[in-house]
Amino acid sequence: MSKNLLNRVYTSIILFFLLFLMIANNYFMGFFLIIIGIFSLLEFFKIILKIFEKNKLKQFFFSTIFIIYIFSFCAYFLILSSFLHLKILIFILLLTCVASDIGGFTFGKIFKGPKLTKISPNKTISGVIGSLIFSSLFILMITYYLTKSFDLYIIIIGCITSVSCQIGDLFFSFLKRKSFLKDSGNFLPGHGGVLDRIDGILLGIPIGFLSFLIFY
């Protein structure tokens, strides 16, 4: 097993432990959201400064938009988590995003096939299909476990969440490609930067939450 893969496994274990702490305690959640927000901003600033190296106005414009977005994301995440049923929903959507990522990686490695886009050369059409399957099955199983009933709308929400995650992932891949960066940072050994881990989540959770409100 390569050193990079070992680092990835160790970091993943730590991240799941931190996720458990966030679920268990809102104070931990607030602290980790601050850390996530700070590192996300720093990594985004680095990317934007490289893309618009000679255009201060665009640097300011895009940085301001992302500051507002990341602050709103973290604030709403924390506020909604004050209510138990909404907290459960948010973490189901979070894990659905994780399932989407795992499905894309697994299917992409096993089936390979045509590339999805030049923006992110590692992404394949089979990976997209795997993301949709994994996210839909996960959210269907977890909601059945909690409610003891099947609902086809849940599958639609799973697919919408997965597609949103992949769009978010592709968007940040595009930015990194434009800035000639492989990773947004090196804060997470084996994973890259914080943005590399949450790029899909930043869009997946809000859109997944909105789709849940629409269908229910």
pLDDT single digits (tens) 11-27: 667 777 887 888 788 88
Write out the residue range of the structural domain in which residue 54 sits. Answer: 3-215
Q: What is the number of domains present in the chain?
A: 1
With a cut of 70, say whether residue 4 has pLDDT above it: no
Q: What is the pTM of this model?
A: 0.90
> Of the given ranges (24-28, 79-83, 155-159, 178-182), which has the lowest mean pLDDT?
24-28
Q: 121 to each of 65, 170, 175, 208, how far by Cα in Å?
A: 27, 10, 14, 26
With a cut of 90, say whether residue 6 has pLDDT above it: no
The rounded distance, in Å, linking the Cα atoms of 44 and 66 is: 8
DSSP 202: H
With a cut of 50, say whether residue 1 has pLDDT above it: no
Which pLDDT tens digit goes with each residue over 125-145?
Answer: 999 999 999 999 999 999 999
Give the mean pLDDT of 34-58.
Answer: 94
The rounded distance, in Å, linking the Cα atoms of 86 and 23 is: 12
Higher pLDDT, 4 or 80: 80
Give the mean pLDDT of 102-116.
Answer: 87
Amino acid at 109: K
Q: 192 to each of 16, 43, 52, 61, 104, how far by Cα in Å?
A: 16, 11, 22, 26, 18
> Of the given ranges (14-18, 66-70, 205-209), which has the lowest mean pLDDT?
14-18
Query: What's the mean pLDDT when you consider all of the chain?
Result: 88
